[in-house]
Structure 1
Amino acid sequence: MNLFLRRSLVGCLCLLLLLMGKAAMAEALHERPVLRALYADSVPYSFTGVDGNAQGYNIDVIRQLAEVAGYRVHFIPAENPQQILDLLEQGRADLTPFLALTPEHRAAGLATSSLGEYALSVYVRRDRKFETIEALAGMQVGVVLGEVTQTIVDRFPFAHIVQYNSSDEVLLPLMAGEIDAVVSVAETFEARLRTNFIEDKVRRLSPALTTVPYGLIVRRDLPDLHAALEGAIQTSATPAALMPMRAHWFGSSRSITEHPWFSNVALIVGGIGTAMVALTIYAVRLRRRSVQLQVENRENQLLIDAFDKTRGAIIIFGSDMKGVHWNGGFEKRFPQIVPKLCEGADIETVVKYAYANGIFQSEMSDQEIGDFATQTVQRLRAGGTVQRIIETQSGNTFDLSMFRLGRRHFAAIWVDVSVLYQQQAQIARQSEELARKNQQLLAFSTMAAHDLKAPLMQQATLIGFILEDLSDAKINLPSAAQSNFDTLTEVSHRMNTLVSDLLNYARSDVDASKAESFVPNSRLDGILALSGIDPRIELVIMPNMPKILVEPNSFDLVMRNLITNAAKHNDQLAGRITIRAFKRDQSVVIEIEDDGPGVPENHRTRIFEPFCRLTKVEGTGLGLAFVKKTVESWGGEINLNGAPVRGCVFEVSLPAGPDNIAFLTHPEAFTERCCTT
């Protein structure tokens, strides 16, 4: 058997098998049980076509479900939904068309799952101003006769209901203005609008009046059929599967926004538009940045020009440490180095050359210069900074700073600080001279105070002897003479006090090495004993003050001056002085508050000046000056503030002693933790 005959035989066998398969399928289809389905005229859901056969969206869905479930369908026409239910109950049909799944319909048989929904909606012409359903009060509302639409009559008690036999009959009155609105099932009515090409002249009000799911009703004594149809619905009646049939019978909106491809086109157009907007914004920003860079370049050039005029020198080195740019100031200040840079010398070579040829003055040896140059390069590559004072052979002094500039460059900047160094040297010389003169003045003041104090002591002693001799001789001096002796005694005492204060003020620069750590309370008793305070003055002292670190004897003098000053200037018969302390950072603040007349704010700084006296109360005017000088020599400070009600508060900040951990940190915590002396 040749090849041709074999191929012909295979072809014949395949054709025979195909014909047998079709015959078997036809026989199997013919042997399928027949399903009697009812329908009523409700275009486009179901109706009888010109050829006498049932047609419509409902008919096609039932055919598809029956085929999947293994049935053939025979359609039986009915007059209306009520007749459909009667025939189903009488057993003359097995299945209804789409019916609203209301409780009444569900009671007539076995309801399938929902295959869609009837949305009862209100439609008005686009040129009418109705926006809500309530706005139709008193208006003419058309409805189509039928079980579903008839239920809306009760929902419009405020409108005049006009009934029509079909959706086609209601269109003309709506467009002619004979009725103001139409209530109908959305799918059916919008299909009629598209068929008559007037969908763009009518709009639907939101929301829908009601939404009712629809499905099929199976005769109650056919549970197997119901189960088969349910399975078919789950597999072949999905929204995607039903969409082609819906589009065929209900049509598609001619509005471009409702086409399936509109969303894709809109996304593409939107993406292009967004990209164009983004590109436009980017171009605008790029343009602005370009203008900004131009302005910055001009400003940078101004800075470079200004730096040149200050005789500053700049070199920019590349990643290979070779000079790539230097300004005019560098060429003027270091013309000997410029040829080396033009030859491509790197930083290490330039540094060695400058030191070796005396351009930079230094006492380093050649080995030390080489090590310094190498270390400079290593530090710069590691991201460090090199700072050095350079003296040139011309006698100028420069502050040299070398550092990384960005990722690939390094910079070296020389700033001429010759004038500054000359001024610093002059200040240093003046400071030494001032210290020497102050030491001489202190020595003179101490000597003068001692030399003055001895005659005054002798004078006071002599006056005492004279008064004792007169008393022993029982000689009574005339009142004028006695007054002169009293005046002489008082003047001698005041002179002695002045000399003592001068001596204390001259010695107020305390040696910090004599500082001790102690609690102020431990010395206040002795201080108060020597202060001679009027017993009518009430003293309130906070217990357990934080430790301070100062020279103890000088502390006694400072506190005695502040306490006696507060007491003698108090203008009340029974005044009050409060002493408290608290921790503030690394310092201890001691406050001495009184309730006297206070000090005007414009005098609170001047009061610390030597010989400043604001009242006629006895004193030399050196007490507060001594206090300020002594406190500042400890590294502290003193301020005068007004008291909350009356008087003033001296605030003395002193170095804190060790172990100040659990002390008060604010003066308000002093409440009810004080003792009265």
Structure 2
Amino acid sequence: MAAHSQNVSFSALLDAELRRNAGGVRTLRAGAGEIIFQEGDAGDGMYVVDAGRVDIVIGAKDAEPRVLSRIGPGGIFGEMAIIDGKPRSATARADGDSVLRFVPIDDVYRVFSQSPDLMFSLMRDFSNRMRESNARHVEELLEAGRLSLVGRFAQSVVHDLKNPLNIISIAADLAGADETPRESRVMAVGMIRREVKRLTTMVNEVLDFTRQTPGTVVLTPMAFRDFVRVLLDEIGPLAGDRGVEIVCETRPPGVPVNIDERRLVQAFYNLINNAADFMPKGGTVTLRFALTADELQVEVEDSGTGIAPEIAERLFQPFATFGKKTGTGLGLSICKRIIEAHKGRIRARSEPGHGAIFVIMLPLAKSL
């Protein structure tokens, strides 16, 4: 809601015309909160504010009506219903004790016919008001979008944090009970450690997502073969804990690629972790490597059920969990941001008889 400043020349022209021939113009007084007209009423005339202030609101029957504009002394309101010949599109309510002049529709037509300048001035004033209204509306839509995103973000994160916290709570009770056998205590401690790792991953995903850029990316030339060795050493055991085996179908090339080792490992971890989510009974993730004149191509294929066509276009959107029971829905979105920070590209596809296939393209470095 914003205060509205009227076109002074229009107010002056209208006032001069009304003083020459008042016609059916009459003075009204409205107390604070008094309704002057309601949404849906017939457009039988327009109003001039001589003193006080009038709010133009919608949803006046609701507990908290929304104020569209605020009309002060010298301003007019109610002209829209005259221009378009339709019922009132909003409610006019006195913000405080106000003095108004009501100009019946016949007198409005009369003064406009006698003064083309007045009609032109009204159109200019009306256009300015529409521009202001449109600008406010766009800002409100953007704000609503931001609030919706925050709501989805909070809902997703809180829901997903509760599950591991509940497991940790149960495991802690089990481990701390005097009558718990040693084997069960060991199992409970393992559960706690596993869920702490899960929480850590989720928190890191949230932190990554809230950054405008995917962390500090420092690109350094590195033989891709060496990177793959580091990658398998780091995420191989983690994948194994979930029953997932990582297999290199082709040998990783030794070509130089500009890499931020820590961040690119995170991108591949997100892909493989996402694949594991869709293979609850375990499975295989296959890596394939190919070269073009200026790019390295890496295919990451899992042995799951593949990508449903209806979700393919939204796969890298934030909060896109697509039926998964765990995770924040941020992993693939973050993965895409990391790859793009490496000046690369990522896409996904699915073929009959195959699982999900993610293809990463990274530019080759000139030298090590």
TM-score scaled by length of structure 2: 0.44
Larger Rg: 1
* Greater RCO (Cα-Cα under 8 Å, separation 6 or more): 2
TM-score (norm 1): 0.25
